[in-house]
Amino acid sequence: MTPHNSATTGTIAKTVLFPGDPERAAWVADAFLENAIEVTHVRGMRGFTGMYQGTSISVMASGMGGPSAGIYSYELFRVYEVDTIIRIGTSGGLQEYIAVGDLVFALTASTDSAWAHQYQLQGTFSPAVSYPLIEAAVRSARDLQVPYHAGMVFSSDLFSDYNALGPDSWKAWARMGALVQDMETYALYSTAAYTGKKALSILTMTDSCVTGKGLEKEQRMSALAPMIRVALQTAINSGAVS
């Protein structure tokens, strides 16, 4: 156990789905996993382990922001010997052609965070997705007929609506090709690289910075179901759960 995770040895699966919201973790466990049990609830960061297509899979909340996701993913990789983390998150759209509800697979993440300074690298670190996972994700999305995009995402320490740089600060990142903005992918990919493990970030575009369109309040959970199905099928197709 750790100060942030009370799960005992062997109760967390080798593959973990990684939403930000603790209640989303509970919803995924209840709606998509069989015989799910809660294995941790420290500081409200709920974690569950259950079965999917005969295979053990866990789902655990990461909390909000890179530092929180980085701490929880590091402990999952190092302390609980997790092999693969698949983030299932929400994001703000930066390109007009990405519709509300579309999925985005993060090939790499740019950031305004100082997260990678801890590695003492003489340069700028650009973490990338684990290739077998992105290959499996594309195949899964196609099989399930779920609209998707793949490319660079921008992980920010600043929530876009509260950004003191102004309401149009996202446009510079959009011009450089960022598809969406989240807060956690950069820290997750960096931690996976540092620990030698595998990670994939799948993001549902829930609110467009370009068009102003977004999910209604009552859709904020149910509209994420296609992403969950793709993430689970990705785990199976990639061999991550074998």
Q: Per-residue pLDDT tens for 92-112?
A: 999 999 999 999 999 999 999
Position 162 scores a pLDDT of 55
> What pLDDT is stored for residue 224 in this prediction?
95
CA distances from 171 to 107, 205, 231 (A): 20, 16, 29
Model confidence pTM above 0.85: yes
Task: Pick left, alpha or beta for residue 53 (phi over 0 → left; psi -120 to 50 → alpha; otherwise beta).
Answer: left
Report d(CA 4, CA 238) in Å as an integer.
Answer: 29
Which residues are identified as catalytic?
207
Does residue 4 carry a pLDDT above 80?
A: yes
The pLDDT value given to residue 165: 59
**Backbone φ and ψ of 140, nearest 5°:** -65, -45
pLDDT band at 121 (very low <50, low <70, confident <90, very high): very high
**Domains of the chain and CATH, by start:** 15-237 (3.40.50.1580)
> CA 38 to CA 26: how far, in whole Å?
8
